[in-house]
């Protein structure tokens, strides 16, 4: 079959190879299908419809509207369509309705896509939602056998069961030819700062067992940690260096340091093979899963930067968001990271329901006082499927249009804390200003940026400083005006 995979063109300030589509492409190619990836952050989404039979589109919530446009276009050519990715996993039935795609993928797409492409009837394809009598219907594929033989595990997400493959090494390497790191524009990689290009993201694990109320990683990747074999991880790194000239690796795992043994094994293997590679952890690691000995080994193997999920300086908030973190640990761990010679980036979230101005200021002051190189202050955003989303729906959901584009953690706006949405936005901006004006951090940041990054950097600052509406009206003129109706009252007919 001829399959086109699309990551939509959207207003991206961070650009990175799309691992998800890379994994899908590799599993489809293994079956002999012809596959092409078009990534809107890299190229125009232009194609000859006659070349393709099935179009798969990926979406996070923030660019779900653009994904819907790509589905609409493919359907207008008479092509079969399937939509997948983080947004869809969190609400598959509603995503099928909103996008009007022919199919939606409930979870990891490798098996789903392969089975669909092999011509199986949709009702027997694992992890698929399809249309039946004008309504979304879940396939009834039976993976009982695979669960008994411990190839899959089932987990309950909300009130729905999802199946995940246990041995993720079975997926092999992503199709790097189609997402060659060197083919991506040198805009802003994840975390903004990098040492050398080309840079490749990899994942060494999938899943996260925690239940932080704002995070959808345990929903998209499952609650059970699934590990790649550290030897295969390092084989992959060597291959990226030799075949694709990669000079830096970004480990994008949700919880890379959860199992110490895994981290040690990956680092020791890099050291043993004398691989010279800079690597970093831009996606955040848990403060309580780091220790001095492990940090030293990470540094020795090439780790130069890591983001730390600190979120709040207030224990009440940390407990409310189910972070399971003791605030008292933070300062010492940040110091240990720095002592190991690794740059430390702090992640902070402001504006949770019930949070007061005083508590937000406490977080900002705490961030400034830590030995951090950089900090990111984002707004509490109710990502679909999370407990925070349920809170938001119960407060505002009824009869309200959902503008998914505004679900970015930089721009989200809700009057649900003990201070107004405007106050949250001001405090977020104040957090950045105060942090970067302390200890000459702004100068250090400016000097660590490359000249080609300055415009994107400025755009990011403007996006944070101005409110969503102002930004979209005057700066992001290309923004799509895609309106959705409230999920509770949306129609369920095709
Ligand atoms: C790397 C990453 C990024 C990279 C993405 C790079 C890229 N081109 O893919 C960058 C840094 C750009 C990024 C940005 C953001 N991200 Co992000 N990101 C991740 C992270 C950590 C890993 C994603 C990954 O590569 N996983 C590995 C691959 C194999 O999995 P995958 O991409 O999900 O793909 C699989 C399935 O989803 C499915 N699938 C995917 N696409 C398709 C398509 C079809 C047709 C099918 C059938 C299946 C399918 O099959 C794939 C293979 O198994 C996830 C965490 C997570 N656990 O998902 C968050 C995550 C996806 N991000 C998230 C968010 C919120 C964001 C931001 C909105 C944050 C922000 N700034 O506000 C931005 C969005 C960009 C923007 N400006 O609008 C949320 C998404 C929630 C949601 N409902 O959309 C997640 C889940 C994190 C979280 N804590 O909740 N992110
Ligand atoms: S924030 Fe980190 S620890 Fe919490 S659920 Fe998400 S990935 Fe897991």
User: What is the per-residue pLDDT for 117?
Assistant: 97
DSSP state of 393: I
Predicted confidence at residue 481, as pLDDT, reads: 32
Ligand 1 centre distance from Cα of residue 273 (Å): 31
Judged by phi (left if over 0) then psi (alpha if -120 to 50, else beta), residue 225 lies in: beta
Q: Who lines ligand 1 at CB under 6 A?
A: 12-14, 16, 18-20, 23-24, 56-58, 60-63, 82-87, 89-90, 105, 108-110, 112-113, 190, 201, 203, 215-217, 220-221, 252, 254, 283, 383-384, 408-410
Supply the pLDDT for residue 148: 79
Quote the pLDDT of residue 360. Answer: 97
Backbone angles phi, psi at 272, to 5 degrees: -60, -40
Answer positive or negative: Cα dihedral of 390, 396, 401, 404. Answer: negative
DSSP string across 108-155:
-HHHHHHHHHTT--GGGSTTEEEEETTEEEE-----HHHHHTTSEEEE
Q: What was the pLDDT predicted at 449?
A: 77
* Residue 39 to residue 58: CA distance in whole angstroms: 10
Distance (Å) from CA 408 to ligand 2 centroid: 17
What Cα–Cα distance (Å) separates residue 473 from each residue in 255, 312, 349, 413?
37, 32, 26, 16
- What pLDDT score does 487 carry? 34
How far, in Å, is the centroid of ligand 1 from the Cα of 60?
6
Ligand 1 atom 27 nearest Cα: 20
- Looking from the CA of residue 203, the nearest atom of ligand 1 is 27
Segments of the chain with pLDDT less than 70: 159, 397-401, 464-494
- The confidence score (pLDDT) of residue 465 equals 67
- Judged by DSSP in three states, 94 sits in helix
Which residue ranges form the domains of the chain, and what is each CATH number? Answer: 2-165 (3.40.50.280), 189-380+418-448 (3.80.30.20)
Please report which helix (H) or strand (E) contains residue 473, including its range: none
Gap from CA of 252 to ligand 1 centroid (Å): 10
Strand, coil or helix: 335: helix
Cβ atoms 54, 1 nearer than 8 A: yes
Most informative mutation of 219, 283, 286 for ligand 2 (most atoms within 8 A of CB): 286
Q: Quick check: bond before 123 cis, omega within 30?
A: no
pLDDT reported for residue 398: 53
Q: How far is the CA of 85 from the centre of ligand 1 (A)?
A: 7
Q: For ligand 1, atom 86, name the residue with the nearest CA.
A: 217
pLDDT tens by residue, 132-165: 999 999 998 777 778 878 888 888 777 677 889 9
CA 301 to chain centre: 25
Asked whether 212 lines ligand 2 (CB < 6 A), one says: yes
């Amino acid at each position: 079959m001829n399959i086109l995979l699309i990551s939509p063109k959207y207003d991206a300030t961070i650009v990175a190879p799309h691992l998800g589509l890379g994994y899908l492409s590799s599993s489809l190619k293994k079956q002999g299908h012809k596959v092409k990836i078009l990534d809107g952050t890299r190229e125009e989404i232009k194609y000859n419809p006659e070349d393709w039979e099935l179009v798969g589109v990926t979406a996070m919530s923030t660019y779900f509207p653009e994904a819907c446009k790509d589905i609409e276009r493919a359907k207008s050519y008479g092509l079969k369509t399937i939509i997948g990715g983080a947004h869809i996993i969190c609400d598959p039935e509603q995503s099928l309705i909103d996008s009007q795609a022919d199919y939606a993928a409930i979870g990891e797409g490798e098996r789903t896509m392969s089975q669909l492409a092999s011509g199986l009837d949709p009702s027997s394809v694992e992890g698929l939602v399809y249309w039946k009598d004008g309504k979304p219907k879940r396939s009834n594929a039976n993976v009982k056998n695979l669960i008994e033989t411990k190839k899959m595990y089932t987990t309950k997400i909300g009130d729905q069961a999802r199946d995940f493959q246990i041995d993720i090494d079975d997926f092999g390497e992503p199709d790097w030819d189609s997402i060659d790191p060197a083919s991506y524009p040198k805009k802003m990689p994840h975390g903004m700062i990098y040492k050398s290009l080309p840079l490749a993201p990899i994942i060494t694990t999938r899943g996260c067992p925690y239940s932080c109320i704002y995070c959808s990683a345990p929903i998209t990747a499952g609650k059970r940690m699934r590990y790649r074999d550290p030897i295969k991880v390092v084989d992959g790194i060597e291959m990226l260096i030799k075949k694709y000239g990669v000079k830096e690796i970004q480990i994008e795992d949700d919880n890379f340091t959860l199992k110490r043994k895994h981290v040690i094994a990956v680092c020791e293997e890099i050291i043993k093979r004398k691989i010279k590679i800079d690597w970093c952890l831009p996606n955040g690691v848990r403060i309580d899963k780091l220790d001095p000995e492990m940090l030293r080994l990470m540094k020795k193997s090439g780790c130069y930067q890591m983001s730390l999920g600190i979120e709040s300086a207030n224990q009440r908030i940390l407990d409310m968001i189910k972070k399971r973190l003791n605030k008292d640990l933070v300062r010492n761990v940040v110091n240990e990271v720095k002592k190991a010679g690794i740059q430390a980036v702090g992640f902070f979230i402001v504006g949770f329901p019930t949070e007061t101005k005083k508590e937000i200021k406490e977080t900002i002051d705490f961030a400034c006082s830590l030995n951090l190189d950089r900090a990111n202050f984002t707004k509490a955003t109710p990502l679909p499927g999370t407990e925070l989303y349920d809170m938001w729906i119960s407060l505002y959901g009824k009869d309200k249009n959902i503008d998914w584009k505004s679900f970015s953690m930089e721009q989200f706006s809700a009057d649900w804390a003990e201070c107004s949405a405007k106050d949250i936005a001001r405090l977020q901006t104040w957090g950045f200003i105060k942090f970067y004006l302390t200890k000459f951090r702004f100068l250090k940041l400016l000097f660590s940026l490359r000249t080609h990054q300055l415009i994107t950097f400025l755009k990011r600052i403007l996006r944070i400083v101005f409110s969503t509406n102002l930004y979209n009206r005057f700066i992001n003129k290309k923004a799509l005006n895609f309106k959705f109706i409230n999920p509770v009252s949306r129609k369920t007919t095709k």
